[in-house]
Chains A and B, each alone.
Chain A
Amino acid sequence: VAQGWLQIATFIALVTALTKPLGLYMAGVYRNERVFLTPVLGGLEGLTYRVLRADPNREQDWKSYAASTIVFSALFWMALFVILRTQGIHPFNPQGFDSGPWDLSMNTASSFVTNTNWQYYGGETTLSFFSQMAGLTVQNYVSAAVGMSVLVAMIRGIAGRGGDSLGNFWQDTVRGLYYILLPLSVIVALLLVAGGVVQTLAYDVGAKTLEGADQVLALGPVASQVSIKQLGTNGGGFFNVNSAMPFENSNSFTNFVELLSIILIPAALTYTYGRMVGRQRQGWAIFGAMAALYVVFALVIFPAEQHGTPAQHAAGLQTAHVDGSTGGNMEGKEVRNGIAESGLWATTTTVTSNGSVNSALESYTGLGGAVPMFGLASSEVVFGGVGSGLYTMLLYVLLAVFIGGLMVGRTPEYLGKKVEAREIKLASLGALYTPLAILVTTALAVATEHGRVSIFAKDSPQGFSESLYAYMSQANNNGSAFAGYTGFVQPNPPGNKGAFGITFADVLGSLTLLTARFIPIVLALAVAGSLARKKVALGGAGTLRTDSPTFVVLLVGVIVLVGALTFFPALLLGPIVQSVTTDLF
C-alpha cells in the first residue's frame, strides 16, 4: 500500500516538473517564434498555408475565429461520417467489416470531432483499419489542435492591448499540429512499440495454444493511434476495452508512458498561459487550483479501491493486501496495473477530458466510482482537455474574480481589465450549459422507455449511475464510461452481424456531444473578443490579487460550488447510495 502512495506521489511530482519546459516551448509555438523544430518543419508549414489557400497573417476577430473553428469542424464531421458509412469499399479492411447502423456512425463522428471519443462502437469488432487511421487518428489530431487554438485565441483576448484580433485560426491550428502534436506523438508511439504495443497492417495471426485450441490475435496499426489518443486527450481505444488490452497498453512501462501523455499537455498549457499573458504566477495559480483538486481525487480513489466491494466481501473474498498480492478490488483491473495505477489512471483520465481507461470503471467501488464522476462534474477544468480544459477554467476564473470582487466591494478586474456584465453573462452561460445539458439528457434517458434500453444493471442505483455517467461523459467531451451502458450490443461475431445501435442513445448522445463542445467554444471566444478591446488599467492597492493562495482557494470553491454541487442530488441517487450501503441488488 505504501508502494501505491509512492507511485502516485512520484507521478504528480514528475508532471509538475515537466510543466515548465513543455509550457515554455508551446508558448514559443503560439507566439509564432522560431522553435527548434522550425528548420525541420518550417518548409512544410509554409507549404501547408499555400495549399490550404489560407493567409496566416490575416488577423481574425472573435466572430471570424469562431466561424473558422465551426466550419472546419463541420467539414471534418462530414468527412468522418462518410468514411464510417463506406466501410464496405475501404482499402485496409482485412476483416471485411461493413458499416453498421447510421446512428452509430453519427454518434462516433460526433464523438471524435468533439475530442470526446465516447465508444458506443467496439474497435476491433466493427472498424476497418482505414476508419481507424484515416478517420479516427485524423480526428485525434485535429480536434485536439482545435481545442488548443481556441485556448490561445482566448489567451490573446485576455492579454490583448486594445483591438479586435485574436490571432489566426489556420496558423494556430497548423502550428499546434506540426510543432506540438506530431513530434510528441511520434516519440510516444515509438516508446509504446518498444514496450510491446502492436503496429502492423496484418490482422489475423493465428496461434495454437498449449491446450491445442485456436487463438486469433487481433492486431493492427495501434501504437500510432494510441499515442495521439493520449496526448490529444481523445481517449478512443483501438480495442473495445481500450488501454486495458495488452496490445494497446502492454506493461508497467507503457502504462506509465500513456498516463503521462494524458496529462502532459493540459498541465503544461497553464505555463504557456502564464507566459503568454506575461505573468507567470497567474499560470501557476491556475495550475495550483487544478493540482489541488487532482490530488484530493487521487487521495480518495486509491483507498476506496483498496478496500474491495460489498459483493466481493459477501462472497467471502479477503481483499486485504497480503504478501505477493495487492488485494483490493481487482474486478475489471489488470494485475500489471494493480490498484494504484488503475485508480490514478481513472482519476487522470476523467479530470482531463481524455476518457481512455485501463480498467473497468463500472466495476469500481461506490466511492471509487464517484471520483471519476466528480471529475466529470467539475466540468473538466482540472487540467481538462488539451485547450478545452484551460479555456473552460478561464471562464471559471472570471466567475471567481466577479464573486471575489463582490465580496471585497471592488469592481472586479482580471489582469488589469475590468470584468463587466457582458463577460459575466457569457462566462456564466459557458459554465452552466454543460451541467444543464447533462441533467436534462440524463432525465430523458432514465425517464423514457427508449432511454432505459441502454441500461445494463437494470432497476438499481448502478443503472442510474450508468445513465448519469454516460451523459456526463459525453457532455464534458470526456469519453470514459460505465461501460455496461450501451448503444451497441457486445459481444458480436466479426462482420457486425447482430450488432445494432440503440437509436435513442446514439442520437441524444450526438446532440449532447456537439452542443456541449461548440456552445462553450463560441462563448469563450466571445468573452475573449470582449476582453480584447478593453484597456489595461494599473492595479491599485484594492485590486483583488489573482495569483495568491487565497484566490486559488476561492477558485476551487467556485468550481466545487458551480460544477459539483449542481450534481449533488443526482450523485446521491447513484454512487453515493452505493458507497454507503453494503446491500446487494
Chain B
Amino acid sequence: MRRDLVNSAIAVVLFTVLFGLIYPLAFTGVAQVVFPGQADGSKIARDGKVVGSKLIAQDFRRPVLDRNGKPREDADGNPVMAADPRYFQSRPSQTGYTPNVTFFSNLGPNSVDARDTVKANIVTYLAVERRYTPGLTAAKVPVDAATQSGSGVDPHISEANARIQANRIAAVRRIPLERVRELIEDNTEGRFLGVFGEPGVNVLKLNLAIDSETS
C-alpha cells in the first residue's frame, strides 16, 4: 500500500508532465508547422482582414431599424433581426451564432416549444423567399432551414435549401440564376470517399463568391 502511494505520487507528476504538457505542447508545435491554416481555425481573409472561418457559420441577418433609424428591440431588449436579402442565410441558431459559447437547443421530440420554434422558422423562411420563389409552401421548406443545428454554428445548408435561396440572390444581386447555381455547386462540400457524411453548401464561402461576382 505504501509502495503504491509512492509509485502513484510519482506517476501523477510524471504522466501530467508527459501527457499533459509535453504531448499537447509538442503536438501544437508540429500542427502549427505542418497544417498552420487548419490548426489556427481555417480562417478566411478578404482584403487582408479576417472575415470569419470556413468552418463556422455567421449571422447574415441585420438589425431592423425603426423610423428614427435606431435598431428595433423585442420585449427582452434584444435587437430584432431580419434576413439580409443580399446573402444566403445560415441555418437557424439557438445561440445567436456564437462560436465561443456553444450549447444545444435540447428541444425534445414532443415539445410544444419545438413545434413553435419550427413553425416560427418556417414562417420566417417563407416571408423571405416566397417573393422570389412563387409556389413555395411550408411543405416545401427543407428540414435544415426550419431546425436548429447542433453547434449553433453549422457552416452548411442543404443543397435543396441553397437552390431555393438562389432565386432570391439572382434577383436581388442581378446575377443570372445559372451562374448562382454554378457558384452553389463550387461551394458544395461532398462526402468523404463519396460514402460518409452528407453534402453541404458552405454559406460563408458562397456569400464571398457572390460578393466578388458583383464587385
Q: How far is the CA of A484 from the CA of B106 in the complex (A)?
A: 5
With A124-B100, A325-B159 as known contacts, state yes or no: A360 contacts B105, CB within 8 Å.
yes
A334 on the interface (CB 8 Å rule)? yes
Identify which of residues 248-283 in chain A touch chain B, using a CB-to-CB cut-off of 8 Å: 250-253, 255-256
List A contacts of B142 (CB < 8 A).
Answer: 322, 324-325
By the criterion CB–CB under 8 Å, are B148 and A331 in contact?
yes
A578 on the interface (CB 8 Å rule)? yes
By the criterion CB–CB under 8 Å, are B7 and A53 in contact?
yes
By the criterion CB–CB under 8 Å, are B20 and A317 in contact?
no
By the criterion CB–CB under 8 Å, are A256 and B103 in contact?
no
By the criterion CB–CB under 8 Å, are B56 and A68 in contact?
no
A581 on the interface (CB 8 Å rule)? yes
- Nearest chain B CB to A480 CB, angstrom units: 12
By the criterion CB–CB under 8 Å, are A67 and B1 in contact?
yes
B73 on the interface (CB 8 Å rule)? no
Chain B: which residue is nearest A47 at the CB level? B14
- Nearest chain A CB to B167 CB, angstrom units: 14
A335 on the interface (CB 8 Å rule)? yes
- Nearest chain A CB to B84 CB, angstrom units: 6
Q: How far is the CA of A157 from the CA of B100 in the complex (A)?
A: 49
By the criterion CB–CB under 8 Å, are B101 and A137 in contact?
no
A150 on the interface (CB 8 Å rule)? no
List B contacts of A218 (CB < 8 A).
Answer: 99-100
A193 on the interface (CB 8 Å rule)? yes
B124 on the interface (CB 8 Å rule)? no
Q: How far is the CA of A321 from the CA of B193 in the complex (A)?
A: 22
Q: How far is the CA of A456 from the CA of B158 in the complex (A)?
A: 30
Q: Which of A53, A71, A122, A324 contacts B160 (CB 8 A)?
A: A324
With A51-B10, A246-B55, A334-B150 as known contacts, state yes or no: A316 contacts B60, CB within 8 Å.
no
B140 on the interface (CB 8 Å rule)? yes
List A contacts of B118 (CB < 8 A).
Answer: 311-312, 315, 317, 331
- Nearest chain A CB to B153 CB, angstrom units: 7
A40 on the interface (CB 8 Å rule)? no
Q: How far is the CA of A72 from the CA of B41 in the complex (A)?
A: 37
B147 on the interface (CB 8 Å rule)? yes
A341 on the interface (CB 8 Å rule)? yes
Tally of B interface residues using CB under 8 Å = 109
With A193-B38, A325-B160 as known contacts, state yes or no: A309 contacts B51, CB within 8 Å.
no
Per-residue interface assignment for chain A, residues 209 to 240, with 1 indicating a CB less than 8 Å from any chain B CB and 0 otherwise: 11101011111010111000000000000011
By the criterion CB–CB under 8 Å, are A217 and B99 in contact?
yes
Q: Which of B35, B87, B109, B196 contacts A365 (CB 8 A)?
A: B109
- Which of B23-31, B64-72, B128-136, B168-176 lines the interface with chain A? B23-31
List B contacts of A194 (CB < 8 A).
Answer: 34-35, 38
By the criterion CB–CB under 8 Å, are A205 and B51 in contact?
no
Q: Which of A54, A68, A210, A328 contacts B211 (CB 8 A)?
A: A210
By the criterion CB–CB under 8 Å, are B155 and A205 in contact?
no
By the criterion CB–CB under 8 Å, are A331 and B1 in contact?
no
With A312-B147, A315-B118, A369-B109 as known contacts, state yes or no: A338 contacts B153, CB within 8 Å.
no
Q: How far is the CA of A331 from the CA of B118 in the complex (A)?
A: 9
With A247-B41, A330-B147, A484-B106 as known contacts, state yes or no: A141 contacts B5, CB within 8 Å.
no
With A240-B103, A584-B111 as known contacts, state yes or no: A71 contacts B5, CB within 8 Å.
yes
Identify which of residues 86-126 in chain B touch chain A, using a CB-to-CB cut-off of 8 Å: 87, 91, 95, 97-112, 114-116, 118-119, 122
Q: How far is the CA of A67 from the CA of B109 in the complex (A)?
A: 46
By the criterion CB–CB under 8 Å, are B195 and A6 in contact?
yes
Contacts A133-B25, A318-B143 known; 15 new A-B pairs at CB < 8 A: A7-B196, A75-B12, A79-B12, A135-B20, A190-B34, A194-B34, A194-B35, A211-B58, A223-B27, A252-B197, A326-B198, A457-B106, A482-B106, A483-B106, A582-B110
Can you identify 5 A-B contacts, CB atoms within 8 angstroms? A7-B197, A194-B35, A239-B102, A252-B196, A316-B119
